């Protein structure tokens, strides 16, 4: 029984190398040694309990493709929670069990293992969450989204390494196809529309013809999906290496517009996502992508989207701030602005919104000031605080507040650089009439564009 396994260059054409159906050798090479020993041990314990354990889903797909994936999902024909409890007792794993769902997570020092009781799913109505009962491996595979995700590898000693592929997923990998397992698939779960596009673009695959036709037909079914589930799928897309590919494709298919009428993914988005990638730490990138995605929306359209997707408060604030700040950008398009003026224009906005505008603004001057705020101005602090000002006879209250503000302004503008400078300024402010508003600083008329926070240089970029 000689069958094919495909190694692909994502961007190139499929280059098929024939290998055997038993993947024992591939598993041994693919999984890190401690993980391998662990899954074998788990499988051994399962056998003693009269259960069978399989590796399933994404890891099987990626093992066949030769891509790394250590997000291991195990399916148990038997009681996965009971097995996980036993494994947890004998090893040093932290156990998180969900008896209701028959699932368990075993947390080790560097990785986690997900165990799930093989399940059978039935959908009471399209779009509803499925009703779940215990089932066989085959039941568990047919409830899955695409043939390439519906394969398993047996880990039991008897038949170890055997590929179980009832829906010809391996054949679809070879032909670079995304295929649903039955015609009701998108109507059962329309989030598969988003998932399918994510895999299509990540792997450089195509939808099989009937899958493509049904996908388009069932786009309106997305209306029946909860905001949380759609948001989760969008988050997964925005975590991809090149999310703009899936975003553009979803836009062309009319999926984005179905989620929010004015949402679109075009060349502009692709360019901005690319810039964001070069700037931002990976863990904040998906949120920054969300801010850029809504950059051309009206505030009303954004509010509808936030409520449709049930976006949490902090990210909602950043997305709304992104649009608010966009309307203020003309104020930043003045090269003569002092650092303290930039600071006061931007201090109320979420850093993510400032970052989004620093990427999206058309004005080089505004972009430069936004980056200056993010990399320097927002961190500027005075050396003296209220307690120390008291030692100079300045009492708490409006007078102290004004002096602290003036010290901060002077720091931002590079007009004071040391503790001694600040003390001198505080005392001189105390001596003059402090009740005039705003506090007039010695030298505050000067246009300061140099010094530690000068607008001429920006230091490191984030
Ligand atoms: N799955 C599904 N339908 C969904 C979500 C998940 O059929 N709506 C199945 C698929 O078989 C998938 C598995 O559950 O392979 C695990 O889902 P997930 O962790 O989201 O995907 P992975 O396959 O691990 O793929 P990746 O993490 O690489 O995106």
Q: CB-based contacts of 199: which residues, under 8 Å, 6+ apart?
A: 146, 148, 149, 178, 205
Q: Ligand 1 center to residue 57 CA distance, Å?
A: 6
Please work out whether the CB of residue 130 comes within 6 Å of at least one atom of ligand 1: no
Q: Would the CB of 103 count as within 6 Å of ligand 1?
A: no
Atom of ligand 1 nearest to the CA of 150: 11
Query: Among residues 134, 116, 135, 132, which one has the least CA distance to residue 46?
Result: 116
Which atom of ligand 1 approaches the CA of 61 most closely?
23
Domain boundaries, the chain: 2-175, 185-300, 312-462
* Domain 2-175 annotated CATH 1.10.275.10: no
Would you give the distance in Å from CA 228 to the centre of its chain?
14
The whole-number pLDDT of residue 88 equals 87
Quote the ligand 1 centre to 350 CA distance (angstroms): 33
- In CATH, the number for domain 185-300 is 1.10.3090.10
- C-beta of 71 in contact with ligand 1 (< 6 A): yes
How many angstroms separate the CA atoms of 304 and 301, rounded?
Answer: 5
pLDDT by 10-residue block (mean), the chain, 462 residues:
33 38 92 92 94 96 93 94 90 88 89 92 76 90 96 94 96 98 94 98 98 98 96 97 97 96 94 91 89 96 97 97 98 97 97 97 97 97 89 83 92 94 88 54 41 41 36
CA of residue 171 relative to chain centroid, distance: 31
**Rounded distance from Cα 58 to ligand 1 centre (Å):** 6
Write down the pLDDT at residue 436: 52
CB atoms under 10 Å from CB of 87, counted, come to 20
Are 163 and 23 in contact by the 8 Å Cβ rule? The answer is yes
CA distance 274 to 462: 15
Distance CA 169, CA 153 (A): 12
Nearest CA to ligand 1 atom 9: 144
CB atoms within 10 A of CB 198: 22
Q: Which residues are registered as beta bridge partners of 275?
A: none
The protein residue whose alpha carbon is closest to atom 13 in ligand 1 is 57
Q: What is the pLDDT of residue 127?
A: 66
- Distance (angstroms) between ligand 1 centre and the Cα of 425 equals 62
Distance 145 CA to ligand 1 centre (A): 7
Cβ(233) to ligand 1 under 6 A? no
Residue 4 Cβ < 6 Å to ligand 1: no
Q: Does ligand 1 lie within 6 Å of residue 145's CB atom?
A: yes
Closest approach atom of ligand 1 to CA 69:
28
362 exposure class (CB count in 10 Å sphere: 0-12, 13-18, 19+) = exposed
The three state secondary structure string of the chain is CEEEEEECCCCCCCEEEEEECECHHHHHHHCCHHHHHHHHHHHHHHHHCCCEEEEECHHHHHHHHCCCCCCEEEEEECCHHHHHHHHHHHCCCEEEEECCCCEEEEECCCCEEEEEECEEEECCCCCCCCEEEECCHHHHHHCCCEHHHCCEEECCCCCCCEEECCCCHHHHHHCCEECECCCCHHHHCCHHHHHHHHHHHHHCCEECHHHHHHHHHCHHHHHHCCHHHHHHHHHHHHCCCCHHHHHHHHHHHCHHHHHCCCCCCCHHHHHHHHHHHHHCCHHHHHHHHHHHHCCCCCHHHHHHHHHHCCCCHHHHHHHHHHHHHHHHHHHHCCCCCCHHHHHHHHCCCCHHHHHHHHHHCCCHHHHHHHHHHHHCHHHCCCCCCHHHHHHCCCCCCHHHHHHHHHHHHHHHCCCCCCHHHHHHHHHHHHHCCCCCCCCCCCCCCCCCCCCCCCCCCCCCCC
């Amino acid at each position: 029984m000689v069958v094919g396994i495909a190694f692909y260059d994502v961007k190139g054409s499929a280059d098929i190398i024939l290998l055997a159906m038993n993947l024992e050798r591939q598993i041994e090479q693919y999984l890190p040694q401690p993980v391998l020993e662990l899954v074998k041990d788990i499988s051994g314990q399962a056998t003693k309990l009269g259960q069978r354990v399989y590796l399933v889903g994404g890891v099987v797909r990626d093992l066949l493709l030769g891509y790394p994936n250590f997000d291991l999902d195990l399916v148990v024909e038997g009681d996965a929670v009971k097995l996980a409890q036993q494994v947890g007792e004998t090893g040093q794993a932290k156990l998180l069990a969900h008896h209701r769902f028959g699932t368990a997570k075993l947390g080790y020092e560097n990785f986690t293992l997900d165990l799930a009781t093989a399940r059978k799913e039935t959908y009471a109505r399209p779009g509803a969450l499925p009703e779940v009962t215990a089932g066989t491996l085959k039941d568990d595979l047919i409830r899955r989204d695409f043939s390439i995700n519906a394969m398993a590898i047996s880990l039991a000693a008897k038949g170890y390494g055997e590929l179980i592929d009832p829906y010809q997923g391996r054949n679809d990998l070879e032909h670079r196809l995304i295929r649903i397992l039955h015609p009701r698939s998108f109507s059962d779960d329309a989030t598969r529309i988003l998932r399918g596009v994510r895999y299509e673009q990540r792997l450089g695959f195509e939808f099989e013809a009937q899958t493509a036709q049904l996908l388009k037909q069932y786009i309106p079914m997305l209306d029946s999906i909860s905001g949380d589930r759609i948001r989760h799928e969008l988050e997964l897309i925005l975590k991809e290496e090149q999310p703009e590919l899936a975003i553009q494709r979803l836009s062309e298919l009319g999926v984005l517009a179905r989620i929010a009428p004015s949402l679109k993914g075009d060349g502009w988005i692709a360019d901005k996502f690319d810039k964001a990638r070069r700037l931002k730490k990976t863990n904040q990138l998906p949120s920054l992508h969300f801010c850029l995605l809504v950059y051309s929306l009206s505030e009303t359209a954004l509010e509808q989207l936030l409520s449709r997707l049930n976006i949490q408060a902090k990210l909602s604030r950043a997305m709304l701030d992104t649009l608010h700040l966009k309307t203020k950008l003309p104020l930043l398009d003045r090269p003569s602005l002092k650092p303290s003026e930039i600071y006061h224009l931007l201090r109320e906005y979420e850093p993510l919104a400032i970052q989004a505008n620093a990427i999206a603004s058309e004005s080089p001057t505004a972009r430069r000031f936004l980056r200056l705020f993010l990399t320097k101005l927002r961190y500027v602090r005075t050396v003296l605080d209220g307690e120390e000002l008291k030692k100079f006879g300045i009492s708490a209250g409006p007078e102290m507040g004004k002096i602290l503000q003036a010290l901060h302004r002077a720091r931002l503008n590079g007009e004071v650089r040391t503790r001694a400078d600040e003390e001198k300024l505080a005392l001189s402010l105390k001596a003059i009439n402090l009740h005039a508003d705003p506090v007039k600083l010695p030298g505050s008329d000067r246009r300061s564009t140099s010094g530690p926070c000068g607008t001429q240089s920006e230091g490191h970029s984030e």
